[in-house]
């Protein structure tokens, strides 16, 4: 059966809740400008402070699991119980995704697919298979641009909103979660997600299955201290292939599913586990 759509989103609160770091950055910029105007001799100190502040903001954007630029879901809420979330990025892929769906169906579990919307448009039938099997489709941007984290606010909103519209049209279910390409973002992203009612979702741990061809190493990263609430990142798109040309993911997934069973953990979709972003607003 298709994945049940989240309840209709309440309107976003009028005021975006500024994270403390960004509120402090705004005050620092105002103070630096005032200081330079009233005491020009402090200009170099003000410039140094601003440079340090921008370096901190850049580092936060390069740290995918950071929450200092805004809310960032790295684990399932406690209400999800003994569950984990298997998430697959960068698909759907016509070669890898069908094999992933077969493994998931054989195991009787459901997962979340963060899809690139334009890739989904070219694989519309496959996308419908994902939804028909009970999996959740979420937003991984329109094109997965390499410069995504450098876009301005209007360009960010155009990209994410267009992906929302396209994925909603193709599946009949509008996403309520977003994952940034490569996990990289700027301070401009969360205000856009706030307006669109989208959770930013990263992960608890990742296997680096787009880089490492060794299934044992990929599995070890994903299964290390595996526990309730974990969000695990894998890739059905851009998957690294081993010497035989087989995506390493397909050798990792059955063993990972067994580790979940052994630990008494139930894979759940983000649609099941996460309420809409503004549900409690």
Q: At what angle do helices 189-196 and 153-171 cross, to 10 degrees?
A: 40
Higher pLDDT, 84 or 70: 84
The active-site residue, picked from 159, 235, 236, 251, is: 235
Give me the residues paired with residue 223 across strands. none
Confidence of residue 23 (pLDDT cuts 50, 70, 90): low
**Which tokens sit at 211?**
């880089």
Look up tokens 């298709």; give the residue. Answer: 2
pLDDT tens-digit profile of 33-80? 555 666 565 555 445 544 554 455 455 545 688 888 889 999 999 999
pLDDT, residue 67, reads 85
36 CB-near residues (< 8 Å, 6+ apart)? 42, 43, 46
pLDDT, residue 68, reads 83
- Burial label, 193 (beta-carbon count in 10 A; 0-12, 13-18, 19+): buried
Mean pLDDT, rounded, of the chain: 85
235 catalytic residue (yes or no):
yes
Higher pLDDT, 47 or 211: 211
Provide the 10 A C-beta neighbour count for residue 212: 16
Cα–Cα distance, 160 to 143 (Å, whole number): 10
pLDDT, residue 65, reads 84
In terms of residues, how long is the chain?
281
Higher pLDDT, 128 or 21: 128
Give me the residues paired with residue 86 across strands. 232
Provide the 10 A C-beta neighbour count for residue 39: 11
Tell me the mean pLDDT in the region 9-30: 55
Query: Which of 63-67, 96-100, 148-152 has the lowest average pLDDT?
Result: 63-67
The active-site residue, picked from 89, 159, 209, 230, is: 89
Q: Using H for helix, E for strand and C for coil, what is the string for the chain?
A: CCCCCCCCCCCCCCCCCCCHHHHHHHHHHHHHHHHHHHCHHHHHHHHHHHHHHHHHHHHHHHCCCCCCCCCCECECCHHHCCEEEEEEEEECCCCHHHHHHHHHHHHCCCCEEEECHHHHHHCHHHHHHHHHCCCEEEECCCCCCCCHHHCCHHHHHHHHHHHHHHHHHHHCCCCCEECCHHHCCCCCHHHHHHHHCCEEECCCEECCCCCCCCHHHHHHHHHCCCCCCEEEEEECCCCCECCCCCEHHHHHHHHHHHHHHHCCCEECCHHHHCCCCCCCC
pLDDT, residue 31, reads 46
Tell me the mean pLDDT in the region 122-140: 97
262 catalytic residue (yes or no):
no
* pTM, to two decimals: 0.84
User: What percentage of the chain carries pLDDT values higher than 70?
Assistant: 77
Higher pLDDT, 251 or 40: 251
Residue 161 pLDDT > 50: yes
**Which tokens sit at 115?**
């899809």
Provide the 10 A C-beta neighbour count for residue 207: 25
Residue 82 contacts residue 266 (beta carbons within 8 Å) = yes
pLDDT, residue 237, reads 96
Residue 101 pLDDT > 90: yes
Residue 215 pLDDT > 80: yes
pLDDT, residue 42, reads 57
Residue 167 pLDDT > 60: yes
Q: Is 252 left (phi over 0), alpha (psi -120 to 50) or beta?
A: alpha
Confidence of residue 5 (pLDDT cuts 50, 70, 90): very low
Cα–Cα distance, 239 to 255 (Å, whole number): 17
pLDDT, residue 129, reads 97
Higher pLDDT, 190 or 33: 190
Nearest to 230 by CA among 202, 250, 252, 211: 202
């Amino acid at each position: 059966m298709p994945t049940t759509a989240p309840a209709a989103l309440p309107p976003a609160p009028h005021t975006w809740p500024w994270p403390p770091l960004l509120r402090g950055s705004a005050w620092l910029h105002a103070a630096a400008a005032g200081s330079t105007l009233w005491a020009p001799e402090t200009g170099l100190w003000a410039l140094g402070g601003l440079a340090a502040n921008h370096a901190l903001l850049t580092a936060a954007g390069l740290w995918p699991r950071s929450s200092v630029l805004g809310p960032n879901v790295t684990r399932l809420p406690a209400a999800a119980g003994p569950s984990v979330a298997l998430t697959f990025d960068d698909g759907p892929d016509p070669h890898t995704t069908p094999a992933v769906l077969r493994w998931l169906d054989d195991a009787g579990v459901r997962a979340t697919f963060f899809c690139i919307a334009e890739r989904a448009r070219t694989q519309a039938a496959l996308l419908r298979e994902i939804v028909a099997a009970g999996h959740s489709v979420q937003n991984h941007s329109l094109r997965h641009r390499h410069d995504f984290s450098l876009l301005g606010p209007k360009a960010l909103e155009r990209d994410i909103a267009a992906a929302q519209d396209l994925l909603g049209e193709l599946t009949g279910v509008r996403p309520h979660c977003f994952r940034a390409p490569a996990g990289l973002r700027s301070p401009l992203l969360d205000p856009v997600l706030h307006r669109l009612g989208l959770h930013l979702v990263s992960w608890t741990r990742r296997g680096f299955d787009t880089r490492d061809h060794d299934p044992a190493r990929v599995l070890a990263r994903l299964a290390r201290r595996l526990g309730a609430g974990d969000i695990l990142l894998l890739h059905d798109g851009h998957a690294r292939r081993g010497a035989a040309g087989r995506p390493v993911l397909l050798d990792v997934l059955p063993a990972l599913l067994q580790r979940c069973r052994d630990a008494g953990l139930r894979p759940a979709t983000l649609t099941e586990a996460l309420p809409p972003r503004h549900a409690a607003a």
